[in-house]
Structure 1
């Protein structure tokens, strides 16, 4: 190359570089200018250009780029430009593929839009990139609870269940069933059993993306990825020969829930018999099973029992007609969502589930266990008949008098002729029982000799009780020797009997139905909760009107119910005081605004959202002689429902703001301190936030049950197969919805105060606190259950672990159990003066139960920071 050409090239390259730098400089200036003007979309475009032209600037502009991305994503989200939003994140991740903050934010957007599997992947990646990233860990735990339900751990730890399935599969394969389809494979354990038993071909399908990928990892880790074909499909979508080469000779499945049919086993097996299975083996013929199809489980028998149970009752029936001075009118009929005749068109699971052996207060059987039905999973016609939803009737004599609270249902799963699994309350099993609460009767009392009558059907993939009733012994009808199908002799006799029944299917036509969540009904039944609020609110309102007796003031306009004529007879010089403003932003159905309205000249605002619940609160207000304007619905006054915490009027402030601090699951609500900070700015002088502060209590326990419910314990329960490391990746450190009164555990310490969370005086909060706890018993610390004392003020508090509580409790489960020991010194027993020497006790301590409140201005979280053993 000539010198002139070389000079030209260098000059040209120099000019290009100078032009690149100028463009980068101008783009950075433009991006900054756009940010100042909150033009995030244009700023984002400029930063993309800069980072593509100058990758060396990635580190220096990273934080500003993240901020711009997140603000632009919020704007796109509000405009419903979803595809543009995800395009932006994909571009950002191309530039910063290992940025945990961007991964976490991408996951949050995906989760809000219902893409749980995809969100989990981004949260998981963020945690892997930075194991100390608290927000990503919390998000992953939340998604893990949703994607991999906790029963997977309990089921895989049930060695008896696993061994029974293994033996039944071995029998089928040995008898000639060499091609196997595992429907709803989950972790793939039944497919592993089939391959171990000697099946020549094993196929497995799983609809959940998370569980499908988990099963792929499990199968590969057990060196069977070439022998088991996994399909990310619903069984209804499997086609021959596209997905499997031909019909199989054996289908194995455990798509059963506590109510047997709730996971769609009947519908999936009908499809399997019609499209995926060989024809069934002829009855009573000894032929080669390889030419015929069969299903494991082979059949099931469903059993039921009528029970009295106070715990079930308080979650599904409102027991009082008056709560803290508020009358609940008979015209309002409260039902839980399990009530079959609540008028909802959506398919609602008709039962809840309980581990009856651990239900608080126990239960009393009112009848003997009775057989509800049987189903043969190897009989296609029987399955089709069941799916058509034809109902049948049963009657059962009452053997023990009491209150009819529920029909409890369980089943025996017959895997084959030799092997069965029972989910009975008396069995130690991974299954819970299905509970059908009894609602809508005018009287729930039964006595020995009465007859409980039920009408069952299978509909919408559920076993439903369409009608529950009872026939009293005074009717003179002897049902004890009659057939279980309610054959009462003739049609006229049947009609007369049904007409005399107390039945859930009857409505008087005058009542207003109010369907609540079971926790909302339990809250209405929580009398100490409402009495406590009434007393605490009364003191605040009295202090703000020190010269007046609130109960005797003329406040008819605000809801006292004072006679209007009496008010008109008062002197015209009397001045009606301005009302005090109370805002209830607790979640769900709440009557606290009405309680506040009875305490004086109060204008109470409710944050109830559902129109049907607002209508019911209006009915209750009218029944308590409240004028309409006493209680109003706050959300109807707001332009933006996301900004609930605002002034009642431009010139007014709140006297009381009621916040939800504790979730019914047993955890502290998110963003509590942020809400409290806003609330403090909206209070009049002397006004209060309820609660004013919360004390967190905890204790050390040894609980094998919590370990089994939180993680798979090695390979022993899974019969040597390597599953634990993969499923345990989805374990979470906190178990929620616990009831400490029945939790199988051994307390190793006394309860201790772990943390104070002050909403009125945040300066009293510590970001970190070290606690020393005395050990009162030797053992292995496996978990730290915790609960709350909710202080409305210094005198009035609620304990979330007491017997009336509508809250459940939670527990931190340790990754590794910690051995602790208490030293006992035993002195020789003496009988001098009729007394014996007692045992002297020298306890160890556990130091640093480090409950930490992270990012207290944004979210409130209770975490174990560290826990270690300290010698005495």
Structure 2
């Protein structure tokens, strides 16, 4: 891409000025065909596409390498801005995205360290001095941010609808097990489950969360006039003295990716052992982790075979990095080509923290002639109540924010309809926030790390 460089030998040049170059450099937009001045590029993304890189920096605690990977991830996958803003994990966290998609991509020349986390850099004014905007324009910006926040809340609500409505139905359709009972909402977030419990005539509800969202939840509880029935506490359960030592019901949305990654299971077990009255209820009380075979040759070529010919060079050593870390994504229903298998079942009333470590022999029957390119892990959740409620995060069900955890194979496995593929999956807690998953089949061992 041609760049106008000041003639440093000219008498008119007073020396190198980085801003002179920046003002004359165009950046190809990440989401449309527009080319904008690099100094206006982040503002263009914000105003035209509701894409806020400063928000993402704060949300994911990004560094400059994260930023480079994100830009190349977007250009590679041609993902919409709204999809990126809704991401709940670093799907771009792969070293292959350090390779520029566009030659001389101007977005990669932006000094990421100068982008303040959570605050969009002010746009340059007409005179190039970045003067403050007038009150009317500031008001317009604030109202735009409010509208964007409302849109974000709506998107999150839709994303969590399956989960939220399942918890709501479990509570409201089983009021007899809630009314006049004391309830602990573990990891209460915005307090929605606490309000469901209060609406079901619980005698007292306590919600606890160690994140800053608890302060917003307090406002929400007061706004709905439920602050007399609901008490919210900021803190870690294991380090907190509760107003009530024992409760009749513990509600928690504790599950993580592939059920156990970044899950709150340890805290649920602690709450059960220290705060649940004898004969009390756990909601939900049971979960299963499941596996299913996937055929998606296009996705496999995109991620794996890509490295076999990169501008005429082989880079197959990079395949191991792609294969090592599973991908969290929504698997299209038509890519499912085997039966599903329950790897493990967790009974919240009796399980220990060691249930995270398990080994399961599995068998998957081919539903048609196919080639297995990956396995998808997901989980199902059960409320075994007088009116039983359950929901699934599997690919045949409505998508949730957990999506599915996809384990890619280096070499696809061909199967004929009715043929059974057998193997063994081992899941082990590697570190506090890391899982090691090993899948053994057909004499080969495939190792993955969720981290």
TM-score, structure 1 as length reference: 0.35
Tell me the residue number matched to 1:617. 217
Give the match for residue 748 of structure 1: 337
Match of 1:679 in 2: 271
CA-CA distance at 1:845 after TM superposition: 0.7
- The structure whose residues are more often strand, as a share, is 2
State the alpha-carbon separation in 2 of the partners of residues 391 and 429 from structure 1.
16
Counterpart pick for 1:771 among 342, 362, 369: 362
Cα drift, residue 645 of structure 1: 7.5
Residue of structure 2 equivalent to 1:595: 196
Correspondent of 1:791 among 368, 372, 382: 382
Q: What is the 5 A alignment of 1:395-544?
A: 430-433=76-79, 435=81, 505-507=141-143, 522-523=156-157, 526-538=160-172, 542-543=176-177
Q: Tell me whether 1:735 sits opposite 2:364 in the alignment.
A: no
- Give per-residue Cα distances to partners, 1:454-495, cap 9 Å, x unaligned: xxxx99778x8989xxxxxxxxxxxxxxxxx9xxxxxxxxx9
Deviation at 1:791, TM superposition (A): 1.5
Partner of 1:596, secondary structure, is: helix
Aligned to 1:113: none
Structure 2 partner of 1:689? 282
Query: Is the CA contact (8 Å cut-off) linking 1:672 and 1:860 kept in structure 2?
Result: no
Instruction: Look up the SS of the partner of 2:377 in the other structure.
Output: strand
Corresponding position: 1:803 with 2:449: no
- Residue correspondence of structure 1 range 701-716 to structure 2 within 5 A: 701-708=294-301, 710-711=303-304, 715-716=308-309
1:406 and 1:515 map into 2 onto residues whose CA distance is 10
Deviation at 1:732, TM superposition (A): 4.4
Residue 852 of structure 1 is aligned with which of 421, 426, 434? 426
- The answer to whether the 8 A contact 1:532-1:796 is kept is yes
Structure 1 residue aligned with 2:313: 720
Alignment check: 8 A CA contact 1:303 1:373 kept: yes
CA RMSD of the aligned region, Å? 5.4
2:256 maps to: 662
Residue number in structure 2 paired with 1:757: 346
Q: Of 371, 375, 378, which residue of structure 1 is paired with 2:34? A: 371
Residue 670 of structure 1: CA displacement? 4.5
Q: Out of 190, 202, 205, which is 1:604 matched to?
A: 205
Q: Which residue is equivalent to 1:867?
A: 441
- Rounded Cα–Cα distance in structure 1 between residues aligned with 2:403 and 2:122: 30
Q: What is the TM-score with the length of structure 2 in the denominator? A: 0.62
Which protein is bigger by CA-based radius of gyration?
1
* Larger RCO, structure (CA 8 Å, separation 6 or more): 2
CA contact (8 A) 1:585 1:606 kept: yes
Distance 1:857 1:534, change over 3 A: farther
Q: SS of the counterpart of 2:260? A: coil
Give the Å deviation of 1:580. 0.9
Change (3 A) 1:683 1:782: same
Q: How does 1:565-576 map to 2 (within 5 A)?
A: none
Give me the whole-angstrom Cα distance separating, in 2, the residues matched to 1:800 and 1:859.
21
Instruction: Flag the 1:608–1:393 CA change in 2: closer, same or farther, 3 A.
Output: closer
Q: CA deviation at 1:730?
A: 3.1
Maintained 8 Å contact 1:589/1:608: no
Provide closer, same or farther for how the CA distance between residues 865 and 525 of structure 1 changes in structure 2, counting only shifts above 3 A: closer
In 2: Cα distance, 1:767 partner to 1:604 partner: 35
Please state how far the C-alpha of 1:790 moved relative to its aligned partner.
1.5
Work out whether 1:815 is the aligned partner of 2:410: yes
Give the Å deviation of 1:811.
0.9
Task: Report the 3-state secondary structure (helix = DSSP H, G, I; strand = E; otherwise coil) of the residue aligned with 1:707.
Answer: helix
Q: Deviations over 1:170-206 (max 9, x none)?
A: xx9xxxxxxxxxxxxxxxxxxxxxxxxxxxxxxxxxx
CA spacing shift, 1:685–1:519, aligned 2, 3 Å: farther
Deviations 1:218-258 (A, max 9, x none): xxxxxxxxxxxxxxxxxxxxxxxxxxxxxxxxxxxxxxxxx
2:76 alignment partner, SS class = coil
Secondary structure, aligned partner of 2:197: helix
**Displacement, 1:846?**
0.8
Q: For structure 2, list consecutive stretches of 5 or more residues without a partner in the other structure.
A: 10-20, 53-73, 86-109, 127-133, 444-451
After superposition, where does 1:806-845 map in structure 2 within 5 Å?
806-822=401-417, 843-845=418-420
Say how many residue pairs are matched: 366
CA distance in 1, matches of 2:169, 2:328: 29
Instruction: Choose which of 572, 581, 603 in structure 1 pairs with 2:183.
Output: 581
Offset of 1:647 from its aligned partner?
Answer: 5.7
CA deviation string 1:742-781 (max 9, x = no partner): 8xx7433133433322222339x79433222211223332
Which runs of 5 or more residues in structure 1 are unaligned? Answer: 1-167, 173-268, 281-294, 306-368, 375-385, 395-403, 409-427, 440-457, 468-484, 486-494, 545-549, 551-576, 823-842
